């Protein structure tokens, strides 16, 4: 199968121009009025269901004549998890399908796109052969990428679309979706593949692909409940790389920490919001967010978590785009993020309106405020590297440089002595 391998060819100016075009398209599609002047603009990309939403995201973001369209299951997450980063890296949309029938909204979008080829993700248990036959009526080339399980499928996607000697790669649990969908947009922006592991063992197919890509840094997503310490140690046995675990207290904080790590020295013009309770909208939105050089942050309920709100503030976002309908991301959340989190890039203080993440660990410094606390803060003040990284990045974003000397070698990674290796 001929594929477009990911290469880092876009300049910052091209990314900015692309971002402006995508946001303009989003606003035309479905604008949600913001409140006070000076707050971030808001938009929503949605359809009647997850399939129509994937078509709406594509329609707002891609012109006809694209080289490739990816089609993945909208009913089950495993095979779809790995495709977002690959799709964004080669600038291709991800459309979702039912197992046995191609939804009319998706079929119409494929006709509009008139792609050179269609790549079906996953085996017949995920996307039936009947759907593949239907797709053959809409493109001269329809192929399927599938392995014997979700782990091999992810490895095959990586092998097809990513070269060797990469800067970054992600390893996420194949047993659940939140950590992987949060990272997919960042993977698309960084041209970093998404590989999957079982929570308590590293599959051979994943280990082999990690060896092949030979990435400089591997980011393990989620805490030990998602990927246990023994499996994290197995990663070190197969590769020679820096291994970093990115884990928050919950899926929402993890999404904020991923964004903070990827955008630690810069802002983001746009942020995308997706439900932390479902995978479909974030999977379809990942390539678009990545191409727009923007993160996807997870939300639920009627308020963002404190971590998400502060990350939007730190990024100084001017546009906030909801992925999915109001049942996924409510208008209340969308407006709140635009009007209070994004407004003028000033972080919301703990104890105010946003829903707070689980209580901070007693004695561990937490980011917040406009002036660094007058304390002797060192790496030993933190229990995890992610705590130190969030604290470091917050004050860096406030213009205080490495105020507490937590990044001793200047590589952007705070308190490397706390990193979980292996």
pLDDT digits (tens, 9 = 90+) for 170-227: 999 999 998 998 899 999 999 999 999 999 999 999 999 999 999 999 999 999 999 9
3-state secondary structure of 376: coil
**For range 250-258, the mean pLDDT:** 94
Distance of CA 199 to the CA centre of its chain: 20
- Would you say residue 359 has pLDDT above 60? no
The count of residues in the chain is 422
Whole-number pLDDT of residue 400:
76
**For range 53-79, the mean pLDDT:** 96
Nearby residues of 304 by Cβ (< 8 Å), 6 or more positions away: 252, 273, 297, 312, 333, 336, 337, 341, 354, 355
Q: How far apart are the first and last CA of the chain?
A: 34
**For range 266-281, the mean pLDDT:** 94
Strands across the sheet with 41-45, in order? 41-45, 319-323, 270-275, 296-299
Whole-number pLDDT of residue 72:
98
Report the mean per-residue pLDDT for the chain: 85
- Would you say residue 30 has pLDDT above 50? no
Whole-number pLDDT of residue 408:
78
* Percent of the chain whose predicted confidence (pLDDT) is above 90: 65
Is residue 412 a contact partner of residue 264, using CB atoms and an 8 Å limit? yes
Strands across the sheet with 94-97, in order? 94-97, 68-73, 117-121, 142-145
Range name among 61-70, 119-128, 155-164, 401-410 with the lowest pLDDT average: 401-410
Whole-number pLDDT of residue 18:
36
Q: How many Cβ atoms are within 10 Å of 3's Cβ, its own excluded?
A: 18
Whole-number pLDDT of residue 43:
96
Q: How many Cβ atoms are within 10 Å of 8's Cβ, its own excluded?
A: 10
Name the strand (E) or helix (H) holding 109.
helix 104-113
Whole-number pLDDT of residue 390:
75
Distance, in Å, from the CA atom of 345 to the CA atom of 273, rounded to the nearest integer, reads: 17
**For range 390-398, the mean pLDDT:** 74
Whole-number pLDDT of residue 10:
41
Confidence of residue 343 (pLDDT cuts 50, 70, 90): low
**For range 229-247, the mean pLDDT:** 87
Range name among 23-32, 48-57, 179-188, 368-377 with the lowest pLDDT average: 23-32
Confidence of residue 302 (pLDDT cuts 50, 70, 90): confident
Is residue 112 a contact partner of residue 64, using CB atoms and an 8 Å limit? yes
Encoding tokens for residue 414?
Answer: 């705070």
| pLDDT: which is higher, 408 or 44 | 44
């Amino acid at each position: 199968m001929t594929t477009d391998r990911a290469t880092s060819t876009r300049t910052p100016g091209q990314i900015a121009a692309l971002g402006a075009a995508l946001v303009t398209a989003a606003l035309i599609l479905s604008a949600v009025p913001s409140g006070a002047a000076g707050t971030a603009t808001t938009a929503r990309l949605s359809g009647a269901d997850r399939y129509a939403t994937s078509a709406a995201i594509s329609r707002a973001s891609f012109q006809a004549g694209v080289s490739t369209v990816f089609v993945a299951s909208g009913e089950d997450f495993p095979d779809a998890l790995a495709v977002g980063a690959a799709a964004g890296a080669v600038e291709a949309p991800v459309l979702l399908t039912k197992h046995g029938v191609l939804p009319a909204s998706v079929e119409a979008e494929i006709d509009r796109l008139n792609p050179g080829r269609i790549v079906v993700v996953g085996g017949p248990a995920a996307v039936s052969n009947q759907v593949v036959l239907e797709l053959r009526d809409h493109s001269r080339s329809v192929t399927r990428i599938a392995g014997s399980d979700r782990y091999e499928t992810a490895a095959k996607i990586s092998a097809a679309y990513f070269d060797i000697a990469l800067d970054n790669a992600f390893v996420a649990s194949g047993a659940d979706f939140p950590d992987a969908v949060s990272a997919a947009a960042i993977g698309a922006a960084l041209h970093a593949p998404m590989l999957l592991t079982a929570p308590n063992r590293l599959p051979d197919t994943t280990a082999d692909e990690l060896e092949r890509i030979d990435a400089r840094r591997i980011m393990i997503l989620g805490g030990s409940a998602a990927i246990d310490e023994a499996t994290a140690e197995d990663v070190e046995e197969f590769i020679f790389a820096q291994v970093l675990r990115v884990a928050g207290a919950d899926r929402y904080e993890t999404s904020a920490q991923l964004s903070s790590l990827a955008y630690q020295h810069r802002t983001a013009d746009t942020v995308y919001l997706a439900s932390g309770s479902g995978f479909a909208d974030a999977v379809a939105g990942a390539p678009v967010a990545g191409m727009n050089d923007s993160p996807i942050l997870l939300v639920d309920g009627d308020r963002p978590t404190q971590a998400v709100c502060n990350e939007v503030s730190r990024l100084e976002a001017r546009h906030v785009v909801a992925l999915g309908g109001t049942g996924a991301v409510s208008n209340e959340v969308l407006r709140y993020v635009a009007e209070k989190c994004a407004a003028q890039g000033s972080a919301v203080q703990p104890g105010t309106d946003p829903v707070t993440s689980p209580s901070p660990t007693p004695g561990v410094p937490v980011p917040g405020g406009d002036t660094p606390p007058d304390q002797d803060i060192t790496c030993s003040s933190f229990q995890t590297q992610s705590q130190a990284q969030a604290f470091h990045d917050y004050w860096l974003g406030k213009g205080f440089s490495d105020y507490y000397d937590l990044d001793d070698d200047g590589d952007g990674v705070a308190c490397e002595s706390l990193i979980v290796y292996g």
